[in-house]
């Protein structure tokens, strides 16, 4: 197991399952991504650059696409979610829709590989 898998394995349900699913979506779109650390978080990396990370806080879960432009590009599809420049906050009971996660990963891949 790598740092992302290890971090997820330490979580309790339903948070673990929710975040594992999102990481699985990212891996399916970037099968050559590697696991590593970025900004102190376990993250998937592509071509040595941070691609996608997930995290747990006391009151929410987060995904980090490491790009304000990516968050801005999908913001209109995330009504009711808490957003900041590079973060999307949610709960296991109200996760980011899979279609949006896929678009986030695709957009970030495009940024990395431009």
How much is the pLDDT for 2? 87
- Taking the model in full, what pTM does it have? 0.93
How far, in Å, CA of 4 to CA of 42, rounded?
A: 5
pLDDT digits (tens, 9 = 90+) for 49-75: 999 999 999 899 999 999 999 999 999
How far, in Å, CA of 52 to CA of 71, rounded?
A: 12
- Ordered structural domains, the chain, with CATH: 3-112 (3.90.1150.200)
Interval 34-59 mean pLDDT: 92
How much is the pLDDT for 96? 97
């Amino acid at each position: 197991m790598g740092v992302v898998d290890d971090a997820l394995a330490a979580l309790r349900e339903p948070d673990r399952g929710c975040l594992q699913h999102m990481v699985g979506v990212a891996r399916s779109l970037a099968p050559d991504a590697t696991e590593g650390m970025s900004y102190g978080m376990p993250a998937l990396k592509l071509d040595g650059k941070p691609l996608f990370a997930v995290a747990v806080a006391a009151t929410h879960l987060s995904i980090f696409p490491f790009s304000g432009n990516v968050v801005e590009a999908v913001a209109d599809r995330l009504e009711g979610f808490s957003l900041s420049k590079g973060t999307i906050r949610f709960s296991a009971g109200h996760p980011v829709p899979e279609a949006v996660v896929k678009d986030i990963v695709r957009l970030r891949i495009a940024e990395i590989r431009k």
